Structure formats: structure tokens, C-alpha cells
Amino acid sequence: SVVHNLWTYFGQSFYHAAIIPLLALTVVLAWYARPSTSEEMPRKFANFQYTYLVVWCVCVAADWLQGPYVYALYSAYGFTGQEIAQLFVAGFASSLVFGCFVGSLADRFGRKLCCMAYCAFYIASCITKHWQHYWILMLGRVLGGVATSLIFSCFECWMVSEHLQRFRFSSGLLSYMFGL
């Protein structure tokens, strides 16, 4: 039967069996929920959308891909549960503290520079994972927290700034950017 073949094809895993229907549902809902505007789309707008989305997705994927493995890495290095918890809390606390003034820094030094700083901080954070020294890993967690604050505040600000000032697209088209 078709159901049996599909079940076998997806490895009898709920995740694999659910991902395609959920993906299809998401695409359909996104299509119907897309914003409407009476404006004509400028030729460069689609390229701008694509460029922003690709860069943002690569940066977010870098942040999310290591998440499930960090605990296992610290555990493999021989750290206790309490030490691992301290490392995690340091990253979250760093993001909490830095997140309070990252917007001001972006306004002062530039949104583009802060987006590039995200990449530098995140690369440095990832490099520290190659050492089994607690304080080097702690530095990496703090740098990762700073990077997290940057990615979830500066990228959208930079996109809006580029949208309105550099490309001079109308503000009505911003809903298409935020609807991605």
C-alpha cells in the first residue's frame, strides 16, 4: 500500500513522516499570508530579498547548528554537570547584559559593522571550542552571548536601513521583507 511504502521510505520515524506535510502546509500558509500592496515591485527588490535571506539564514544556521552538540562536547571534555551549567549560564547572561545596549552601539558604529562583528564574535566563540580549558570555553560562551545579541537585533535594523536609505524602496514593501 502507499501508506506502508511511505512509512518504510521515511524510516518509520515520526519526524521524517511529518516533515514533508508540515513543509507543504507552511508553504501554502505563507503564500496565503503574504502581504498585499498596490505598489509594483522594483526589479532589484527580489534580489535584495534573496541576498538578505541567504546571509541571515547562514548566520542563524551557524548559531543553531552547534546548539545540540555543545553539551555533549563539554561532557566529552570531562566537565561536571555544574561546570557545564555555569558555561551555559555565562552565555545567556552575556547575551542578557550585552543585549541591553547593542542597539545603541549599532546606531553609533553602524549596523553593517555590527553584523560583521557578529561573524567575528561567533567565529571566535567557535574557535574556543577546540580547547578543553574551562576559562577559554567560558570566554567562548561570553563571545557567543554577545554574538547572539547582535544577530537578533542588528540584522533586521541593517536590512531596514538598506531598504529605505540605500535602495530607496518604499516603506510599504517592508512588509514583504518581514513576511519572509
Which pLDDT band, with edges at 50, 70 and 90, does 17 fall under? confident
pLDDT digits over 138-180, tens only?
A: 999 999 999 999 999 999 999 999 999 999 998 888 887 887 6
Stretch 83-103: mean pLDDT: 96
How far apart CA 2 and CA 149 sit, in angstroms, is: 47
How far apart CA 31 and CA 15 sit, in angstroms, is: 24
C-alpha cell at 35: 502581504
Task: Specify the pLDDT at position 68.
Answer: 82
Which of the 8 DSSP states describes residue 164?
A: I
C-alpha cell at 114: 555590527
Find, among 148, 149, 144, 147, the residue nearest to 99 by Cα: 149
How far apart CA 125 and CA 119 sit, in angstroms, is: 10
pLDDT digits over 99-130, tens only?
A: 999 999 999 999 999 999 999 999 999 999 99
Range name among 9-13, 51-55, 83-87 with the lowest pLDDT average: 9-13
Task: Specify the pLDDT at position 10.
Answer: 60
Task: Specify the pLDDT at position 14.
Answer: 72
CA end-to-end span of the chain, whole Å? 38
DSSP letters of 71-136? HHHHHHTT--HHHHHHHHHHHHHHHHHHHTTHHHHHHHH-HHHHHHHHHHHHHHHHHHTT---HHH
pLDDT digits over 22-64, tens only?
A: 999 988 988 887 766 666 788 899 899 999 999 999 999 998 8
Give the number of other Cβ atoms within 10 Å of residue 118's Cβ: 24
Task: Specify the pLDDT at position 7.
Answer: 61
